[in-house]
């Protein structure tokens, strides 16, 4: 099976994903805190209890999404690095072979 990858581009995609996710994390935390504050301010209402349930579920769900995104970015980086190493080794091997001939 041949590898058809521009490892520099893939590495750049991984960096972008990681950067964007990190930027989103702090805003999501603030958003979840807002949900909690709204729920606290409206204690006694049915909506308040429902919002608290939502906050818990969303925190779990978003945490999982962010974790999966970061793992995906790491795996992209790993693949890019492996391909870069393989390419380098191949180049060196080819140069060595040329030297022999």
Partner 1 sequence: MATDMDEAAAGLFDSGGKALPEAWRDTTGALAAGEIGRLVYSYSIVGVRSRAVCSVLSGLDLAFTGAKSRIAAWLAECATRGFRVSDTGTVMLGADAKTSGSLADQLNRASMITTELTAALEDATVADQRAAQALTGIGLTELNINGEGDINADDLELHRDRILPEGVDTGLEIIRKTMPLDDSPTVQSTWWDGLSGTQRDMYLKTVPLEIAGMAGISVAVRRHLSEPERGYDRLKLLEFARDHWDDTSIDWTHTDSNCTNFVSQAFEHAGLEQKGKPGFLWRWDEDEWGHARKKFLFFDFGDDYSNSWGGAQQQHDFFVSQRAQIIDPVNARPGDILYVTNEGTTGEIHHTALVTGVLPNGDILYTQHSDSAQNLSWNGRLPYTHVQGGTQGVQIVRVTETW
Residues that bind partner 1 (CB under 8 A): 1-6, 9-10, 12-13, 16-17, 20-21, 24, 27-28, 31-32, 34-35, 38, 45-47, 49-51, 53-54, 57-58, 61-62, 65, 68-69, 72, 75-76, 79
Contacts of 15 (CB under 8 A, 6+ apart): 73, 77
Helix (H, G, I), strand (E, B) or coil at 73: helix
User: Which is closer to partner 1, CB of 27 or CB of 100?
Assistant: 27
CB of 12 to partner 1, least distance (A): 8
User: Which is closer to partner 1, CB of 31 or CB of 81?
Assistant: 31
User: Which is closer to partner 1, CB of 19 or CB of 96?
Assistant: 19
- Cα distances from 11 to residues 5, 18, 43, in angstroms, run 10, 11, 48
What does R_g of the chain's alpha carbons equal in angstroms? 23
């Amino acid at each position: 099976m041949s590898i058809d990858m521009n490892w520099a581009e893939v590495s750049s995609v991984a960096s972008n994903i990681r950067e964007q996710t990190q930027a989103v994390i702090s805003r999501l935390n603030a958003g979840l805190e807002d949900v909690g504050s709204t729920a606290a301010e409206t204690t006694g209402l049915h909506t308040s209890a429902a919002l608290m349930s939502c906050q818990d579920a969303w925190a779990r769900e978003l945490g999982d999404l962010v974790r999966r995104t970061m793992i995906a970015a790491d795996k992209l980086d790993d693949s890019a690095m492996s391909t870069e190493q393989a390419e380098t080794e191949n180049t060196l091997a080819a140069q060595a072979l040329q030297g022999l001939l």
